[in-house]
Structures are given as C-alpha cells and as structure tokens.
Amino acid sequence: MSLPVMVVHGGATAFKKEYHDEILEAVRKAARVGLCALNNGGSSLDAVESAIYVLEETTLFTAGRGASKNRDGEIELDAMIMDGNRLESGAVMAVRDIAHPISLARYVLERTKNYQIVGSGADKLYRQMLQEGYRKEVDTYRTTQVPIAIGCDTVGAVAADASGRLASASSTSGWPGKLPGRVGDSPIIGAGVYANEIAAASCTGKGEQILRIVMGRMAVYHVECGFSVYEAAKKVMAELRQKTSGEAGLLLADNKGNVAIEYDTKHMPTAVATATSDDVFISMTPKWPLKSANSSFVHN
C-alpha cells in the first residue's frame, strides 16, 4: 500500500442482509471524508476523527446516533482517539447527552492534561468544549430502530498521513443491555485503540476479552518486533482465540501505509481509501492483503 491511507470499520459482528448496501455506503463515505482531510493537509488525527464522526452520524451502528441502551434504558457512550507520534490519547467513557463522543475525546487529547474522562465529568467537559468553540453543538437525536447488528458494532478507524504519522480511534455505546457504568475495551488505551510511531490498531468485538490480552497494544508490539502488519494481525487474533472466548476484529496499519484487516465474525464492514487510487475498497467480508486484480474487495 502507499501513503496516505485511511481505513474504517463498522464493527465485527453479523449484520442483517437488507442493510449491507447502506452499511457499505456509510463506511465508504467515512473513508472518503477521512482521506479528504489527509489530502487537504489535515493530520491523521483529523482523518480518524472526521471518519468516525461520519459513522456516528448515521444510525447504522451502535455508536453515536445509533447507540443502543444499557440495562436501565440509558445511553452511555465511549470513545477514544490516539496520536501515534506524540504517544498521547484522549478518551471519554459513559458519556450521555452527546451525539459525537469522538470529538470530545479529541478535545480531551488536545485541550486537557488528562487522557481519560468519565461520566458526569465528561458531560461537564462537553459544555466547556462548546463554550470554547472547539466544536459546534449538535442535537442528540438517536435512532429508535431495532439494532441491525446481531450483537454490537463499534466503529473504528486508523489513518497514516503522507509522512507516515499514525492515528487510531474508536466509538461505541457498548453491548446492548450492558450494566450501567460498564466500560469495554474501546476507550481503553492499548485495548481497543493503540498507536505509536510504528503502527496503529483499532479493535472491535467482545470488550471483556479484548481487554484481557491488551489486544491493540499487542498487535502494534508484534509489528515493532518485525512482523508485517498482516502477520501481526493474524498473531493477535490467534492469541485472543487461544486465551479467551473472544470474537473480534481489528484494523492494523504501519507507518509505510501497509494495512491488515482480521476478524473471526461473519462480517466486518470495512473501507480502505488511498491517495493513489480513486477507488475506495469496500467489503462486508474483507480478505487481506488486498490483491487489486483478483481482489475479493468490492471496487466501487
């Protein structure tokens, strides 16, 4: 692959067939928006934030406007963003009246000295973010439709800019019916999301299992040890299977623009956009590495 590169996913799970086209259209749009940020001089952080924002804005995924409720019928959202070059991150957990927690996570990263803000503290910080004009207020409309995924479908993104600077991100409402206050892997540094100057990972799936093997960090570590992103992604998925009952998927990119996608669920809607191709490669069941001639990716 080449730089810059933008990759997004809509969760590792199974999706009802009648929604596949809409889902693929959403991930493609998200990847395009992220790549557009990179092509216009934006950072990889801009790219992953804007891509996740697009996915949160749809009602297709259990994140943002598509959030599902916890056991008590309330919505609690988690999101995280990480800058690989600075080795710094921002995360919010169990936030309520916000449509786009990814932007609040970015605010935590850019404008506070802390990395992880939870619950009512994050809700207060949201008001502060608006007062400072860091991002505009948007309504908190949520879908009332029955979830279209069987399980949960966190959204995630990784990006590398033209000079190989990496970022990764994730956003979710977590598993439907979760215990109030429950936080999974998605906003936890090293578990759901990790990035450094070598590689960046965004994981999705059974959070309690992903946490046990610190999956995002391990995937990046394998790349640091000399494995290709493809080998590293396979290796970490095998570790998850051997040591836990986890079902999961991940995006893994390195600073050369190489990308791996692995999952052991029925679907993992994914889109990959690069500057050297007008195409965005989209698939519900991606096979990787991409072979452009006989790719099992759908070229649109």
Q: Which residues are catalytic?
A: 154
209 lines the binding site for ligand ASP (CB under 6 A): no
Q: Which stretch binds ligand ASP (CB under 6 A): 38-46, 168-176, 214-222, 253-261?
A: 168-176
**The dihedral sign for the CA sequence 282, 44, 195, 164:** positive
CB 296 within 8 A of CB 286: yes
Residue number, 53 or 227, with CB nearest to ligand ASP: 53
Residue number, 129 or 193, with CB nearest to ligand ASP: 193
Number of alpha helices (DSSP H) and beta strands (DSSP E) in the chain: 7, 15
216 lines the binding site for ligand ASP (CB under 6 A): no
> Which alpha helices (H) appear in the chain, and where do they start and end?
20-39, 44-57, 101-111, 119-131, 207-212, 215-224, 229-243
59 lines the binding site for ligand ASP (CB under 6 A): no
Q: Which stretch binds ligand ASP (CB under 6 A): 89-97, 178-186, 220-228, 235-243?
A: 178-186
How many CB atoms neighbour CB 294 within 10 A? Answer: 6
187 lines the binding site for ligand ASP (CB under 6 A): no
Binding mask 11-30 for ligand ASP (x = CB under 6 A): x-------------------
204 lines the binding site for ligand ASP (CB under 6 A): yes
Pairwise CA distance, residues 8 & 200, whole Å: 12
Q: Which stretch binds ligand ASP (CB under 6 A): 79-87, 129-137, 171-179, 276-284?
A: 171-179
Tokens standing for 197?
């100057």
> Among all residues, whose Cβ is closest to ligand ASP?
207
How many CB atoms neighbour CB 170 within 10 A? Answer: 35
How many CB atoms neighbour CB 146 within 10 A? Answer: 7
CB of 150 to ligand ASP, least distance (A): 11
Residue number, 64 or 205, with CB nearest to ligand ASP: 205
Pairwise CA distance, residues 62 & 53, whole Å: 13
From the list 88, 86, 125, the residue with the least C-alpha distance to 107 is 125
Residue number, 154 or 283, with CB nearest to ligand ASP: 154
Query: Which of 185, 247, 254, 262 forms a contact with ligand ASP (CB under 6 A)?
Result: 185
CB of 208 to ligand ASP, least distance (A): 7
CB of 216 to ligand ASP, least distance (A): 11
Q: What phi and psi, each to the nearest 5 degrees, are found at residue 172?
A: -160, 160
Q: What phi and psi, each to the nearest 5 degrees, are found at residue 125?
A: -65, -30
Tokens standing for 139?
């309504």
Binding positions for ligand ASP, 134-163, rule CB under 6 A: 152-154
Pairwise CA distance, residues 84 & 288, whole Å: 23
Binding region for ligand ASP (CB under 6 A): 11, 152-154, 172, 174-175, 184-186, 192, 204-205, 207
